[in-house]
Every structure is written in structure tokens, then in C-alpha cells.
């Protein structure tokens, strides 16, 4: 029989996992905080110009422009690419510049897409 502390720990662990209503694990792709800005910029440049990402939402006066940081913009771009192409073999790698997260990085009017 589990102790009360163990039961609380299990409930907290389950509560932190993001699941879609169907029970599918939800995952977003974000910039790795340890990656230097110049590496993030190169990866974003590739994603926006070669990778097929619509980068208009990180432009001035658009919903994902603020906060105006390389890391935040890269996170939006990386996730857009990952969600569009993960079922076609695309990854959240970007030369080690990105990581996956089970926490939705959406904020204010900037909504990060999730495609099951």
C-alpha cells in the first residue's frame, strides 16, 4: 500500500504530464536555453527560408514578436517546423539548438501550435 506522501508524489507527477483528450502525449519544440544566439539565428534562418516555416508571426506587431528575444523567436519557429513535419520525419534537433518540452510555451496572444 502506497504511503500518503507517495500518493501525492504520483498525483503531482501525473498532473505535470500534458496529455491530449485522446491520451496522446503533447510535445512542443523550443530553443535550448544553453544555445548561443548566433547558433539559434542560423537555425531560424534555415527554418524560415529553406524549412518551409511561416515566420511572419515573429515580425514586429505580430502576435509572437514579444518578447523580442532570439530564444523566444527561435522557439516559435522551431515548434512550427516540428509540428508541421514531425509526422514526415522532421525532428526537433536543429543541430542541438532545440529540445522538446511537455509544457505548452504559448503566452499572451502567441499560441504555439500542437498537431497530434
* Tens of each residue's pLDDT in the chain, 116 residues: 566 565 555 544 444 445 555 556 899 999 999 999 999 999 999 999 999 999 999 999 999 999 999 999 999 999 999 999 999 999 999 999 999 999 999 999 999 999 99
Residue 114 belongs to some domain of the structure: no
Residue 113 inside a domain? The answer is no
Residue 94 within a domain = yes
The answer to whether residue 11 sits within a structural domain is: yes
Report how far residue 58's alpha carbon sits from residue 39's, in angstroms, rounded to the nearest whole number. 18
Whether 106 maps to a domain, the answer reads no
In sequence order, which residues have a C-beta less than 8 Å from that of residue 82 and are 6 or more positions away? 28, 29, 90, 91, 92, 98, 100
- Does residue 70 contact residue 40 with C-beta atoms inside 8 Å? yes
Q: Which range marks the domain in which residue 47 is found?
A: 4-101
Distance, in Å, from the CA atom of 78 to the CA atom of 72, rounded to the nearest integer, reads 10
Residue 96 forms part of a structural domain: yes
Q: Is residue 111 part of a domain?
A: no
Q: Can you point out the beta strands (E) in the chain?
A: 28-31, 98-101
Domain count, the chain: 1
Amino acid at each position: 500500500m502506497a504511503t500518503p506522501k507517495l500518493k501525492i508524489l504520483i498525483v503531482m507527477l501525473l498532473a505535470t504530464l500534458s496529455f491530449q483528450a485522446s491520451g496522446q502525449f503533447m510535445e512542443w519544440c523550443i530553443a535550448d536555453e544553453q544555445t548561443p544566439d548566433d547558433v539559434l539565428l542560423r537555425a531560424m534562418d534555415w527554418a524560415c527560408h529553406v524549412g518551409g516555416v511561416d515566420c511572419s508571426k515573429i515580425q514586429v506587431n505580430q502576435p509572437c514578436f514579444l518578447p523580442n528575444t532570439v530564444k523566444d523567436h527561435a522557439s516559435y519557429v522551431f515548434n512550427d517546423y516540428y509540428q508541421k513535419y514531425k509526422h514526415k520525419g522532421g525532428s526537433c534537433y536543429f543541430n542541438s539548438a532545440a529540445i522538446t518540452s511537455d509544457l505548452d510555451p504559448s503566452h499572451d496572444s502567441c499560441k504555439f501550435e500542437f498537431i497530434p
